[in-house]
């Protein structure tokens, strides 16, 4: 079985796309890729912000002792 075109569903919208020839893989298009990256960055920003706040609280707690 010689499969030249591997087709995979886009993880964001589910559209079946040609995996090997797709520059936006595993997404179907630039739009899906950017949308996913955007939501990931927002999440990352949220996590790092709350992490920073926890660290600040730790510093304050240590300073009180
Ligand atoms: Zn898509």
Q: Rounded CA gap, 53 and 32, in Å?
A: 32
Q: What is the pLDDT of residue 14?
A: 94
8 alpha carbon – ligand 1 mean position (Å): 11
- Take residue 59 and report the two structure tokens written for it: 């510093």
Q: Does domain 7-64 have CATH number 3.30.50?
A: yes
Indicate the domain borders of the chain. 7-64
Residues with CB under 5 A from ligand 1 (ion): 10, 12-13, 15, 28, 32
Tens-digit pLDDT profile for the chain (65 aa)? 555 778 999 988 999 998 888 899 889 999 999 988 887 777 776 667 776 677 778 888 887 66
* CA-based R_g, the chain, Å: 21
3 state DSSP class of 11: coil
Q: Which has the closest alpha carbon to 3: 15, 25, 18?
A: 18
The model's pTM is: 0.54
Q: What is the pLDDT of residue 29?
A: 93
CA 62 to chain centre: 35
36 alpha carbon – ligand 1 mean position (Å): 9
16 alpha carbon – ligand 1 mean position (Å): 8
Strands (E) across 1-65 are located at 7-9, 16-18
């Amino acid at each position: 079985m010689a499969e030249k075109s591997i087709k995979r569903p886009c993880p964001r919208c589910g559209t079946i796309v040609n995996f090997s020839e797709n520059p936006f893989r595993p997404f179907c298009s630039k739009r899906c890729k950017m949308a996913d990256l955007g939501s990931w960055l927002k999440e990352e920003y949220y996590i790092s912000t709350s992490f920073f706040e926890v660290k600040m609280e730790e510093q304050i707690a240590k300073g009180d002792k």
